[in-house]
Amino acid sequence: MLPTIDTLRENFALLGEWESRYGYVLDLGKKLEPLPDIYKTDEAKVQGCTAQVWLIPQPSTVGHMAFGADSDAHLVRGLIAILTIVYNNQSYAHVREFDIENFFNQLG
Check if 49 is active-site.
yes
Handedness of CA 36, 39, 42, 46 (dihedral sign): negative
User: Which of 7, 30, 36, 49 is the catalytic position?
Assistant: 49
Burial class (CB in 10 A: 0-12, 13-18, 19+), 65: middle
Which has the closest alpha carbon to 82: 43, 15, 28? 28
Hey, which residues are catalytic here? 49
